[in-house]
Amino acid sequence: MSEPGFLVLDHRSLSVVLLWFLIYCVAIGQQTPAAPDTQLSSARSLFKQGKFQEAAAAYRAIIEKDNSSAQAYAGLVQSYLKADDVPAADDASNQALRTLPHAAILHAVRGDVYFRQGLLPEAETEYRAGLELDKNCARAALGLGKIYSAVADSEHAKEYFAKAHQLDPDDGDALYRWAVLLAYPQSADELEKHLSEYHSSPQEEHREREFIGLVRGIADRQVWVGPETIKATEIHLETLSPRPGTVAGLGVRVKFPNSASATLLLDTGATWMTIPQKLAEKIGARKISSYASEGVGDTGPAGGYFAWVDQISVSGLEFHDCVVHVNTKNDASGVDGVTGANIFAKYRVTIHFPERKLTLEELPAPKLIEGDRIIPRTNGDSGSATFTFGHILLLHTSVNSTGSGLFVLDSGSNVSSISPQLAKRVGKLSQSHNHITGMSGAVSDVSVLPDVVLKFSSMGEPKRDLTAFDPQSLSQQLGTEVSGFIGFDVLSRMSVSINYRDGIVAFGH
């Protein structure tokens, strides 16, 4: 499928701003419930200032003097999570529950650790345990909101985020997630409040300012407005080969204003559209706000901005009030740009990879979540759970029947890959001489895991070698562990049906 020695794992922007706009992203800060203790107040102050390691040290000092403080344990765990020291958070939350097994807040923060580790069913169990112990536990309510969001149940997510904010107005995470779902302009005002009161690294605060700029730029306008109803529609796809011996994926023909057109890579791991600056200028795209896009690579964010395009036609299907990302850096992938499959989110999208076609149909009637548990839900008849983080679809994937993790459904990556952490648990890595490039440049540390069998649907998969690199940046953005990418090399023999509204993915031959 790919040219020896050169792999292109993503051609899209994994912008933190986009993720925040579409997935109620993980907020910058929060506090544990207030307590009239000088040391706790000092530790919380450090936390709000974004000094997470110093806050952790302050909470540890409290615990060393008094290990009965559930607030101190909760603050310690959350400080480690904000510093992205997941192993330390895991150890601290286990110790906390051994010491205070009936503290609701400690079950909630244990759920937060599980959520960050990609163990969402286990996270739900702990959030529910917290609410059973204390129906007014704000962190547990917030956690259930995150679970509902991950299974695309936005109404229940909104309900629990609002409940968490009402129970604890000083919890920054609850403030953020509640604010994102408010009507404009209150949403932007509350997000400004969060930015002013809860601090983090300069880079993260810059991203949050960019996100607020996007919210204010879009205001209350609907984006990517297509036909309300649609008859069964078939769209022809083209094989994209940017260089001899390399297949990047499948492309769709797109028409822009001023008689401009391009064939854009169809990418299930992207959102909206990404086009080069030269094309944006030709079609008269109007800038909304600046932002730095992030993806695979070691050279940092790529420059760019959001822009309005009045009308875009995708194989005859017209969309209005379109927001696109304009890439101001040269794209080494060799494709004209990217379109996310989620521009068709109002319809059921089926990509028939072998036949090189895409079909759109009316969505079925919504399915209600039944029973006491939210998770698991399944990929149609595949038996594998699907989780939605905005435009990102994560599939629970078994690897060699000895390990598992959450993998991104990513037709924009020409090869599939695995994180080194999971790879080391299921096999033995060897060094690779392949060169990997993505939106953020080249990846310096690349390995290979040979003879891997992936299981994410009812279809059998042959053994294959998987490239291994660390997707830590994406894991931090989503707030849950990403263990790999299911790329075009695997998907090319399948049909993939996506219901974005309900967060359901189904596979067929």
What's the pLDDT tens digit per position in 291-332? 765 554 444 555 789 999 999 999 889 999 999 999 888 765
Question: How sure is the predictor about 102, in pLDDT bands with cuts at 50, 70 and 90?
Answer: very high
**Which of the listed ranges 28-42, 177-191, 239-253 does the model predict with the highest average pLDDT?**
177-191
Question: How sure is the predictor about 251, in pLDDT bands with cuts at 50, 70 and 90?
Answer: very high
Question: How sure is the predictor about 263, in pLDDT bands with cuts at 50, 70 and 90?
Answer: very high
Region 393-406: mean pLDDT is 93
Q: Which domains does the chain have, with CATH numbers?
A: 6-11+369-508 (2.40.70.10), 29-199 (1.25.40.10)
Closest CA to 21 of 288, 409, 235: 288
Who has greater pLDDT, 258 or 366?
258
Region 1-12: mean pLDDT is 41
- Give the model's pLDDT for residue 385: 79
Q: Which amino acid is at 424?
A: K
C-alpha angle with apex 327: 217 to 293, nearest 5 degrees?
70
CB atoms within 10 A of CB 34: 12
Rounded CA-CA distance 82/235 in Å is: 44
Phi/psi of residue 329, nearest 5 degrees:
-100, 155
Q: What is the pTM of this model?
A: 0.88
Residue 252 φ/ψ region, left for φ over 0, alpha for ψ in the -120 to 50 degree band, beta for the rest = beta
What's the pLDDT tens digit per position in 189-246? 999 999 999 998 888 888 899 999 999 999 989 999 998 888 889 999 999 987 777 8
C-alpha distances in Å from residue 238, one per residue of 126, 192, 226, 413, 416: 47, 44, 23, 16, 20
List all residues 6 or more positions away from 371 whose beta carbon is below 8 Å from its beta carbon.
none
**Which of the listed ranges 3-7, 198-202, 264-268, 460-464 does the model predict with the highest average pLDDT?**
264-268
Rounded CA-CA distance 150/333 in Å is: 31
- Give the model's pLDDT for residue 16: 46
- Is the pLDDT score of 163 beyond 90? yes
